[in-house]
């Protein structure tokens, strides 16, 4: 039997085309599987948290140092209202989990599981939000979806979308990002990212490079060269983050002015001089429930801010 030359060429071309298609699909599959887990604590990081009360304010917190506690290595969180440097993180790379060690009311430090990036869609997770405006015991949430998105580092970061389970009265809709953490406060994995609430991550940097940006409330992202003596008010404590009748300001330097804004950007309370190294009590008895931001202004007009929730 004689096969026409044209038929032979056509069959060969189809075979080559099919082989190339299979090879490309295989390479894409291997590439997607080879990336693996994107760590959250393997460098120097900055999180920029934006909230809009009287205009929009962006607070910065960061990790650029580590410490060892009882033989365990931790990363130290600093900046924003983590200036006590008592918020310590560690990451189990093999398990894709992130833990937080934090001061527990004079009882020493307590460690909790904040993030578990090994979860699958449909899994449930108990949220902990220690020392945040959100409930410390966030309750049980369901992982509704995981969507990989390529960020500015060229890597695919998984976005995790949660909703409260049927028996959970804490109505929040958290979003986690692999390699970044919560898009709300870093120690509030169970909080909704909201510029009109506790805030939302607008910029995230790793080793000085912009990884993530969300510019719906600010115009640009710029990394900040942070030095501890200029940005930390050592000895200053502001508590609690979930307030009933009183907010306490303890230690630190003197401040010329104190102001509290509500979520509509209205000034609801103003007080003058706060003296250094003294405990100052602010009555919140007459404030309606909701999110607020406290501003402390120094003589050089530099301000510190602190977000809290009035119960």
Q: What are the DSSP calls for the chain, one per residue? A: ----HHHHHHHHHHHHHHHHHHHHHHHHHHHHHHS----SSSS-EEEEEEEEESEEEEEEEEEEEEEEETTEEEEEEEEGGGTT--EEEEEETTTTEEEEEEE-TTS-EEEEEEEETT--TT-EEEEE-TTSSS-SEEEEEEEEEEEEEE-TTSPEEEEEEEEE-TT-------EEETTTEESS-TT-TTS--BTTTTBEEEEEEETTEEEEE--SSSS--------HHHH--TT-EEE-SEESSEEEEESS--BSEEEEEETTS-EEEEE--B-TTSEEEEE-TTSPSEEEEEEEE-TTS-EEEEEEEE-
8 in any annotated domain: no
State whether 286 and 171 are in the same domain. Answer: no
Question: Quick check: 227 pLDDT over 60?
Answer: no
State whether 101 and 207 are in the same domain. Answer: yes
Last residue of a domain, one of 184, 213, 242: 213
Last residue of a domain, one of 147, 178, 213: 213
- Predicted structure pTM score: 0.71
Could you list the residue range(s) of the whole structural domain that residue 169 is in?
45-213
Please tell me the total number of residues recorded for the chain in this structure: 311
State whether 267 and 156 are in the same domain. Answer: no
- Quote the pLDDT of residue 299: 66
Are the C-beta atoms of residues 309 and 243 closer than 8 Å to each other? yes
pLDDT digits (tens, 9 = 90+) for 120-175: 999 999 999 999 999 999 999 999 999 999 999 999 999 999 999 999 999 999 99
51 in any annotated domain: yes
The pLDDT > 90 percentage for the chain reads 46
State whether 267 and 124 are in the same domain. Answer: no
Mean pLDDT over the full length of the chain? 84
State whether 71 and 124 are in the same domain. Answer: yes
- Quote the pLDDT of residue 177: 98
116 in any annotated domain: yes
State whether 300 and 198 are in the same domain. Answer: no
Question: Quick check: 4 pLDDT over 60?
Answer: no
Higher pLDDT, 56 or 278: 56
State whether 237 and 209 are in the same domain. Answer: no
Q: Is 297 exposed, middle or buried (0-12, 13-18, 19+ CB in 10 A)?
A: middle
Q: How many domains does the chain have?
A: 2
Higher pLDDT, 299 or 170: 170
State whether 167 and 243 are in the same domain. Answer: no
Question: Quick check: 13 pLDDT over 70?
Answer: no
State whether 172 and 207 are in the same domain. Answer: yes
CA angle 11, 13, 15 (to 5 degrees): 70
Question: Quick check: 261 pLDDT over 60?
Answer: yes
State whether 263 and 188 are in the same domain. Answer: no
- Quote the pLDDT of residue 85: 87
Of 107-116, 219-228, 275-284, the one with minimum mean pLDDT is 219-228
10 in any annotated domain: no
The DSSP code sequence of 22-70 is HHHHHHHHHHHHHS----SSSS-EEEEEEEEESEEEEEEEEEEEEEEET
168 in any annotated domain: yes
Are the C-beta atoms of residues 180 and 159 closer than 8 Å to each other? no
56 in any annotated domain: yes
State whether 242 and 290 are in the same domain. Answer: yes
253 in any annotated domain: yes
Assign residue 271 the CATH number of its domain: 2.60.40.3080
- How far is residue 252's CA from residue 275's CA, in Å, rounded to a whole number? 9
Question: Quick check: 224 pLDDT over 70?
Answer: yes
pLDDT digits (tens, 9 = 90+) for 72-101: 999 999 888 888 888 999 999 999 999 999
Last residue of a domain, one of 182, 213, 244: 213
- Quote the pLDDT of residue 89: 97
267 in any annotated domain: yes
- Quote the pLDDT of residue 30: 44
- Quote the pLDDT of residue 212: 96
Sign of CA dihedral 88, 91, 96, 99: negative
State whether 176 and 279 are in the same domain. Answer: no
């Amino acid at each position: 039997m004689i096969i026409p030359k044209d038929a032979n060429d056509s069959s060969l071309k189809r075979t080559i085309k099919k082989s190339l298609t299979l090879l490309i699909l295989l390479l894409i599959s291997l590439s997607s599987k080879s990336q693996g887990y994107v760590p959250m604590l393997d460098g120097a990081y900055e999180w920029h948290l934006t909230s809009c009360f009287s205009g929009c304010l962006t607070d910065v917190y960061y990790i650029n140092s580590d410490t060892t506690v009882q033989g365990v290595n931790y990363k130290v969180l600093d900046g924003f209202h983590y200036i006590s440097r008592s918020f310590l993180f560690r990451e189990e790379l093999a398990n894709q989990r992130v833990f937080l060690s934090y001061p527990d009311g004079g009882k020493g430090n307590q460690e909790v599981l904040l993030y578990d990036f090994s979860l699958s869609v449909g899994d449930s997770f108990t949220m902990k939000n220690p020392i945040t405006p959100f409930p410390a015991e966030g309750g049980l949430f369901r992982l509704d979806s995981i969507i990989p998105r390529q960020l500015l580092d060229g890597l695919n970061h998984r976005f995790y979308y949660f909703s409260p389970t049927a028996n959970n009265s804490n109505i929040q809709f958290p979003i986690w990002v692999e390699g970044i953490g919560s898009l709300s406060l870093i120690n509030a994995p169970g909080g909704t990212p909201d510029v009109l609430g506790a805030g939302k991550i607008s910029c995230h940097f790793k080793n000085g490079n912009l990884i993530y940006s969300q510019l719906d409330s600010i115009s640009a992202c710029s990394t900040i060269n942070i030095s501890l003596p200029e940005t930390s008010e050592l000895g200053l404590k502001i508590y609690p983050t979930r307030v009933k009748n009183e907010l306490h300001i303890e230690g630190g330097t003197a401040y010329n002015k104190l102001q509290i804004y509500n979520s509509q950007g209205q000034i609801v309370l103003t007080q003058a001089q706060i003296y250094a190294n003294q405990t100052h009590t602010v009555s919140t008895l007459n404030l309606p429930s909701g999110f607020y931001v406290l501003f402390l202004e120094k003589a050089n007009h530099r301000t510190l801010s602190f977000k809290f929730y009035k119960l």
